[in-house]
A and B are shown apart, each in its own frame.
Chain A
């Protein structure tokens, strides 16, 4: 009897040891398959909380990776907000012809995914004349041979860079915030992909990389900002930054430059001599969904 019990115990112990060994055996290669770079990526901190040293090494690592994957030398800027600036945007509705050149200039400039799906930071809505606020009557996918079409007006919408941004409020991990110059930006490496910000945005200002972004290497823009148009990864959120890589270097956003009708204006709201201040002072401006108290810095206006 006792022998039998002893025997059973040893068999059990044997089984236990066997399963422990198998477990260790499986987990070891799993752990070691994780390269040093992957481990570093996994543990990477929020960019704004890094020391200058850490920031430099992250940028160097990223530039090396881009060179390896795309075969192109990238210049990743981390330039901070300029003092005494608060960026504001003006859009003259009476001029927009709905050609969507801004949409495609933006895709080019900002290294957005090109196919399946193509990511757009700007949407141009076509509205029947006679209605403007009820967007339910808008058409997002119009395909005429020629624009503008008779009987329609066009309303381009992108991130409105709210002073009171609902998307920032809801983000559970501080992956998105408002910069001192008023830009709402995302740390693409910190975003967990919960898409709560997409649910919270009243302007559809945010899009998601549902798949791994794809861009033909020859079409890449290599002049990028860390919080802006650098090539991004799948399943993190994305948005218009007013071309942070350009405006912090004294250039206009790509959409402003691309517009053939001069519909789009841009400038510093704190500078009384800026174009945007001229527009606010002299034109009839309004902002989308002002009733939501988001305080957008994106001003639509009509001539005089």
Chain B
């Protein structure tokens, strides 16, 4: 029993210490967190307005019934998937701090999933009825509805990506070697699961015969290829930030290798896109309409055209930057490439993927959807929440991983306190 009490005491100490770690930082850290928190509050405020008025507060209509929210959702599922897929090359090429890459990648995936789920939540008309989707309690249409599949795989992935890093971090905290036989299967299963979440999300659109733009079997492979560009691109940037603000050493070599892999991913992405465009333009059936809306404008409506061509330019530029060793192996050009990819892929598979699915609609109507201020602010709010969660997770995880924040500190402190108490007792004895 004594040991249980001791464990509880230490757990309590751990939580308190976590709060201290989280609440202490440099000026930049405070500013960053404050900045994110303010954006979150603004977004929340706009969301409450939407909740009050209904989705009429957005620019979505019966014609374009999904908009910016679902576009962000699609992109973030890809982010979450790719962060974990990075574990494979990390193992194959034995990148130096492998455990850091696993922990950071999985925590990033967990944060992305939080954002993805929040984007679905704000898109739901009836948030109060979300429990209808919970298996056994509500009435989940499994296995018929792909949305039911998505709920299951996304939540499973979220739990998996919290469980693995938390297990590892607790072990590191206690300065114990993780039981690899126990945890490795979970790490390994998270890899096909990552492929799974993105495939299911692609199938969610893919299965709709009513929407020829999405009803193409190339969709799931394209999703994976583009995710393998945007996910690692953001990880390269995060690694550099972590390297700067902590003592964790990450080799440049690992970053350059990731960039090389991104180049292959981008090649595949562009190739699959070309295959799709060729098929639509050469056969030139009525199903070409959404492609025309996206790429050249349809009946004078060309809202998406500048965006998609900007995205294409960014993707191709980044592809070349990452293909040429000289530019890949310079941090400046590497970072430019990463930013180009993050934005380029966001346009391509966010709005550039969701909106043309609805234009023209099944009865041939063209509705010009441009998100309004509320949708933008709610979206920024969710991004801020996700980045804030990730920042706080990192704030705790990094000192644990590099050994600054551990069980030893607690032991030392307890020991010191006991010694002090003893000394105090003795001194008070001496008094009387």
Contact = CB atoms under 8 A, between A and B. Distances in A.
Contacts of A246: none
Interface in B54-71: 54-56, 60-62, 65-66
A210 B60 contact: yes
Contacts of A169: 144-145
A18 interface: no
A12 B139 CA distance: 45
B125 A194 contact: yes
Contacts of B123: 194-195
B125 A235 contact: yes
A70 interface: no
A191 B364 CA distance: 27
B218 interface: no
A192 B208 contact: no
Which has the most chain A C-beta neighbours within 10 Å: B62, B147, B424?
A: B62
Nearest to B134: A173
Interface string B83-123: 00000000000000000000000000000000000001001
Nearest to B62: A207
Contacts of A157: 363
Nearest to B360: A136
B420 A1 contact: yes
A198 B70 CA distance: 14
B229 to A, nearest CB: 26
Given A2-B420, A173-B133, A204 B361 contact: yes
Which has the most chain B C-beta neighbours within 10 Å: A137, A210, A292?
A: A210
B124 A204 contact: no
A191 B126 contact: yes
A10 interface: no
Main secondary structure on A side of the interface with B = loop
Contact of B140 (A5, A172, A209): A172
B148 A192 contact: no
B409 interface: no
Interface string A152-175: 000001000000001001111111
Interface string B118-155: 00100111101110110000111100111110010000
Nearest to B123: A194
A204 B56 contact: no
Contact of B126 (A192, A200, A293): A192
Contacts of A209: 54, 125
A208 B125 contact: yes
B126 A193 contact: yes
Interface in B359-376: 360-365
Nearest to A209: B54
Which has the most chain B C-beta neighbours within 10 Å: A49, A195, A207, A236?
A: A195
Nearest to A125: B363
A212 interface: yes
Interface string A215-246: 00000000000000000001110000000000
Contacts of B141: 171-174
A119 B136 CA distance: 34
Contacts of A236: 125-126
Contacts of A175: 132
A292 to B, nearest CB: 5
B289 interface: yes
Interface string A120-145: 00010100000000111110100000
Interface in A97-151: 116-117, 123, 125, 134-138, 140
Contacts of B357: 199
B53 interface: yes
A210 B145 CA distance: 23
Interface in B35-75: 53-56, 60-62, 65-66
B125 A234 contact: yes
A195 B65 contact: yes
A141 to B, nearest CB: 9
Interface string B340-364: 0000000000000000011011111
Interface in A181-196: 190-196
A203 interface: yes
A172 B363 CA distance: 25
Given A193-B126, A194-B123, A203 B363 contact: yes
A42 B151 CA distance: 21
Given A123-B363, A170-B208, A198 B132 contact: no
A134 B148 CA distance: 33
Interface of B: 16, 53-56, 60-62, 65-66, 120, 123-126, 128-130, 132-133, 138-141, 144-148, 151, 204-205, 207-211, 286, 289, 357-358, 360-365, 417, 420-421, 424
17 contacts: A2-B420, A46-B139, A123-B363, A166-B208, A166-B209, A172-B147, A191-B125, A192-B129, A193-B55, A193-B124, A199-B208, A201-B362, A202-B209, A208-B125, A236-B125, A292-B209, A293-B209
Closest 7 pairs between A and B when the two form their complex, measured CB to CB: A193-B125, A235-B125, A135-B364, A202-B210, A211-B56, A172-B147, A210-B56
